[in-house]
Amino acid sequence: MKRQQTTSWAMPVVTVIAVAASIVAAFFGSGALGGTAVSEAAGGWLSTSATPLAPGGGAFRIWSVIYLGLAGYAIWQLSAGARASSRQRALRPWAMLSAALNAAWIWMVQLDLLAGSVVVILALLAVLIRMLLLLRDSQPRSWAELILSDGTFGLYLGWVCVATVANIAGWLGSLGATTFTGWILAVYGVLAVAAAVGIATARYTQGRLAVGLALSWGLLWIAAGRFSGEFESAATAWGAVAAGIAVLVATVLIRIRSRRPLGPA
């Protein structure tokens, strides 16, 4: 029975299918396969200039890295070693679910269902947090696993933290709450919470780099978006810069102090 469990192809193949569907949906959502670009769908509320918390356009380049990592992970987890790994058996259903939710989010946006997209991205965030807990409690056994599993889903989580903030801001904007008296203070509050989450995550994971890198990347691109455009605000921009640097520096320092090896166990 144990041998059948460790060598089963069922879940690995289903995971490949889910990841492939997510990548195809991403191409559709980019406009490459006839869909409407995410920045133009849903009334444009997820564009780079829609709200004070929208990241600048360059931020979304991280998706190319994440999708490349997901494709690599999907292929790698078909290997005999990955199929026999108890770590990957625990992770695989969540990886499959994260891919399915990502595709569902793209379709929600394509259908102009902003409220639904918020629900889906919150579910995706919860799944990625669960994956972080699983990854934290065990160590990768190879460089391939470290990069394709820990690295990919760490970047995925860090970016989705920022994307969730932008998504909620876009939804609230569609309800008429783009700006209000004291909005800069509200943005400061959101940025402070994001920085606190990033630092707390770094402490919890003993400085795993991927989450902090992606989160700081997103925060710094929020800053880039506020140095010009409709919601130009030097105060907001520098606040986002401070938040991004705080997460990055804290992650690196915690990693150094933890004395954890950079490579696999």
pLDDT in tens, 105-163: 999 999 999 999 999 999 999 999 999 999 998 889 999 999 999 999 999 999 999 99
Instruction: Answer positive or negative: Cα dihedral of 28, 30, 34, 36.
Output: positive
CB 78 within 8 A of CB 12: yes
Q: Spell out the per-residue pLDDT of the chain, length 265, in tens.
A: 444 455 588 999 999 999 999 999 988 877 776 778 888 888 999 998 899 999 998 999 999 999 999 999 999 999 999 999 999 999 999 999 999 999 999 999 999 999 999 999 999 999 999 999 999 988 899 999 999 999 999 999 999 999 999 999 999 999 987 777 778 899 999 999 999 999 999 999 988 899 999 999 999 999 999 998 888 999 999 999 999 999 999 999 999 998 766 666 5
d(CA 45, CA 25): 19
- Please tell me the predicted confidence (pLDDT) of residue 1: 41
Residue environment code for 120-157, b if the CB has 16+ CB neighbours within 10 A, otherwise e: bbeebbebbeebbebbeeeebebebbbbbbbbbbbbbb
- Please tell me the predicted confidence (pLDDT) of residue 120: 98
- Please tell me the predicted confidence (pLDDT) of residue 204: 92
CB atoms within 10 A of CB 61: 10
d(CA 225, CA 53): 8
- Please tell me the predicted confidence (pLDDT) of residue 265: 54
CB 205 within 8 A of CB 220: no
CB atoms within 10 A of CB 231: 20
Domain ranges across the chain: 2-258
d(CA 11, CA 151): 21
